[in-house]
Amino acid sequence: MSVLTTIDWVVIAGYFAVILGLAWWVIKRQKKTSDGYFLAGRNLGWFIVGASIFASNIGSEHLVGLAGSGATDGVAMAHYELHAWCLLVLAWVMVPFYMRSRVFTMPEFLERRFSPKARTVLSAISLVAYVLTKIAVGVFAGGIVFSVLLPDVNLWGMDSFWVGSILVIVITGIYTILGGMSAVAYTEALQTIILIIGSALVTVFGLSYLGGWSELRAIAGSEMFNLWKPLVPAGMEGTWEPVKETGRIAWYFNDNYPWLGMLFCAPIIGLWYWCTDQYIVQRALSAPNETQARRGAIAASFFKLLPVFIFIIPGIICYALAVSGKVPVLQQQLIGPDGKIIRDQAQQAFPLMVAHVLPVGVRGIVVAGLLAALMSSLAGVFNACSTLFTIDFYSRIKKNVTEERLVWIGRVATTVMVLIGLAWLPVIRGGKGLYDYLQGVQSYLAPPIFVVFFAGVMHKRLNAKGCLAALYTGFGLGLLRLAIDTPVKMIQGFSYPEGSLLWIINNIYFQYYSLVIFLISLAVMVIVSYVTEEPDYKKIEGLTFETTTEEHKQKTRESWNKWDVIASFIVLLLILGAYLYFVG
């Protein structure tokens, strides 16, 4: 039985009418050029850039996975969300290089810095990463939301989960194809406002239902609000214990988040995602100049602080309502016979809160924001996939073809990747949790990309051969881990013989394995670069710190003022404040 009333459906219909109207207005104004379709004519202002970055990021893994993580592990995953400082690195470190290069894609920047082959390899890696993470996880979350809000839907033998997954893809695909980057960015800006308001209402009504913040802390317990204690496995004492366990390195059997992994691995993933991923950086590339791109990234860093309070906290509230019995439906759905939360069911925490805590009308607003977030996240990745494939592959193979032909090829490629994403759904459903799945896969694919971008702009001596060696090595190690992990997730009861090499690789904690990939990739890049010829420094002028001219430096200096600096410091202070508050 649907939990949505007629009033809720009216609110949702009204919201989508506004979205479609905005999209149509943008489409009518759109320039019929490659810049216009893929980068919104490089004409997005800082607020649109910042809101679009946030809306693209806030998708399935937050609406479903992050709230579910809050219900099971408290604020432990807030470490990832408090990496808003990574956006400041994008604003102050990477934006100058990207904007002066005038590229369409991140792989194209890698071609300018290293070689055309490096561009091709990164484009392939990026497309694979989008299939394994953003597309598959986005589809999965759409199914979860529909299965909770419309549980009785059944079409051609498919339950509400599959109907919802397919419906989200179809609607989002049409929406993206018609509008390109302009429609995606402007509608995402509106969706950001609705999403923040709607999710904040979940927190407000949830706390009201529970009896206030103090009651939440009393029921959930201090450990759910401790950013540090959950990082130390049970039975350990000192802060160094997670890296040594009864005389052996604790690379095995650790289901928590050891602080060593969070300290070194999580920033690598964050900097890769926020500073080098086409999915995010494409919004900054759509700004007219360095000033607007930087301010957009700074604005996004403010937005990025919100998920702790509008997704993780609602997850904890859901747990408290369930374990206390104040909402019997939540208790029946989430709490097992042993009195503990059922981890597999925790993925439904946010939509369950929407369904059973919010009043009529308000529920419609939140559902509209929730569905819009799922769609905006998928729209962003569809647009990024289309841009990568069209610009970095097809246009380099087929010269002098019309833009209409290029866009059509991009649509076909996106359709194929969506189908592959659907095929990955059983793997995701078999895992520990949606957010854990996402972080795991990203941890295997991100390190070599992080290495070639950041090492590439930091040190001019690193060359194309070193870049390619690092990408091949790191990507190979990541795919090896995924290939070894997949049978364990896919086949019920499957496991490798204990003590075997495959068993060891499968049981190495994902963050530690990511660090191994990072260190090996960095070493390979440096060694191969130094045993081969130096790059042509004239060709990479302005693409590294050491080859940046005084003219470049002056233009960058003129692109910011004291208010940009003050805003950046405020973000850092807010992050510090959050860490100091969540200490148990």
Residue 544: burial class (beta carbons within 10 Å; 0-12, 13-18, 19+) = buried
Mean pLDDT value of segment 104-109:
85
What was the pLDDT predicted at 278?
82
Query: How wide is the angle at C-alpha 166 spanned by C-alphas 164 and 167, nearest 5°?
Result: 60
Structure tokens at 572: 């850092």
Mean pLDDT value of segment 486-500:
78
Under 8 Å CB-to-CB from 265, ≥6 apart: which residues?
Answer: 443, 511, 512, 514, 515, 518
- The answer on pLDDT for 143 being more than 70 is no
| Residue whose C-alpha is closest to residue 471's, from 133, 134, 111, 131 | 111
- The answer on pLDDT for 273 being more than 80 is yes
| Residue 328: CB atoms within 10 Å | 11
Lowest mean pLDDT among 24-33, 167-176, 325-334: 24-33
Query: How wide is the angle at C-alpha 267 spanned by C-alphas 184 and 545, nearest 5°?
Result: 85
Residue 178: band (very low, low, confident or very high) from pLDDT cuts 50, 70, 90: low
Residue 301: burial class (beta carbons within 10 Å; 0-12, 13-18, 19+) = buried
| Residue whose C-alpha is closest to residue 299's, from 40, 584, 44 | 44
pLDDT tens-digit profile of 422-437?
666 565 555 444 545 5
Lowest mean pLDDT among 23-27, 61-65, 366-370: 61-65
**pTM reported for the whole predicted model:** 0.80
CA distance to 207, 226, 318, 339, 453, per residue, from 321 (Å)? 9, 19, 5, 13, 45
What was the pLDDT predicted at 83?
84
What was the pLDDT predicted at 210?
84
Which residue is listed with tokens 């179809």? 170
- The answer on pLDDT for 562 being more than 80 is yes
User: What is the C-alpha to C-alpha distance for residues 480 and 484, in angstroms, rounded to an integer?
Assistant: 6
Who wins on pLDDT, 572 or 350?
572
pLDDT tens-digit profile of 123-132?
888 877 777 6
What was the pLDDT predicted at 41?
54
| Residue 113: CB atoms within 10 Å | 26
What was the pLDDT predicted at 153?
61
What was the pLDDT predicted at 474?
94
What was the pLDDT predicted at 73?
79
Residue 531: band (very low, low, confident or very high) from pLDDT cuts 50, 70, 90: very high
Structure tokens at 464: 């194309």
What was the pLDDT predicted at 566?
96
What was the pLDDT predicted at 519?
95
- The answer on pLDDT for 339 being more than 80 is no
What was the pLDDT predicted at 144?
67
Domains in the chain, ordered, with CATH?
Answer: 6-425+557-581 (1.20.1730.10)
Mean pLDDT value of segment 91-117:
89
Who wins on pLDDT, 404 or 158?
404
Cβ–Cβ < 8 Å for 389, 105: no
How far out from the chain centre does Cα 152 lie? 31
User: What is the C-alpha to C-alpha distance for residues 333 and 314, in angstroms, rounded to an integer?
Assistant: 16
Under 8 Å CB-to-CB from 366, ≥6 apart: which residues?
Answer: 198, 199, 201, 202, 354, 358
Residues forming beta bridges with residue 155, ordered by sequence position: 158
What was the pLDDT predicted at 194?
80
Residue 253: band (very low, low, confident or very high) from pLDDT cuts 50, 70, 90: very low
Which residue is listed with tokens 């870049």? 467
At 503, the amino acid letter reads W
What was the pLDDT predicted at 106?
87
Residues forming beta bridges with residue 226, ordered by sequence position: 583
pLDDT > 90 fraction of the chain, expressed in percent and rounded: 18
What was the pLDDT predicted at 447?
92
Residue 89: band (very low, low, confident or very high) from pLDDT cuts 50, 70, 90: very high
N-to-C CA span, the chain: 40
The DSSP output letter for 241 is G
- The answer on pLDDT for 240 being more than 50 is no
The CB-side HSE value for 559 (13 A sphere, CA atoms) comes to: 24
Mean pLDDT value of segment 559-583:
90
Structure tokens at 257: 């988040």
Residues forming beta bridges with residue 341, ordered by sequence position: 335
pLDDT tens-digit profile of 195-233?
788 888 888 888 888 888 888 888 877 778 877 654 544
Who wins on pLDDT, 291 or 223?
291
What was the pLDDT predicted at 351?
78
What was the pLDDT predicted at 175?
64
Q: For all residues of the chain together, what is the average pLDDT?
A: 78
| Residue 465: CB atoms within 10 Å | 19
Which of 234-248, 249-263, 436-450, 561-575 shows the highest mean pLDDT? 561-575
What was the pLDDT predicted at 255?
45
What was the pLDDT predicted at 243?
42
Mean pLDDT value of segment 544-555:
89
What was the pLDDT predicted at 14?
84
pLDDT tens-digit profile of 341-370?
777 677 778 778 877 788 877 788 777 777
What was the pLDDT predicted at 130?
76
What was the pLDDT predicted at 147?
67
Mean pLDDT value of segment 11-25:
79
Query: How wide is the angle at C-alpha 8 spanned by C-alphas 7 and 14, nearest 5°?
Result: 90
Who wins on pLDDT, 203 or 332?
203
Mean pLDDT value of segment 499-518:
87
The phi, psi pair for 104, rounded to 5°, reads -90, -35
Which of 169-178, 215-224, 542-551 shows the highest mean pLDDT? 542-551
**Orientation angle between helical segments 434-458 and 259-276, nearest 10 degrees:** 70
User: What is the C-alpha to C-alpha distance for residues 464 and 443, in angstroms, rounded to an integer?
Assistant: 24
User: What is the C-alpha to C-alpha distance for residues 95 and 568, in angstroms, rounded to an integer?
Assistant: 15
Query: How wide is the angle at C-alpha 270 spanned by C-alphas 96 and 581, nearest 5°?
Result: 115
Who wins on pLDDT, 343 or 35?
343
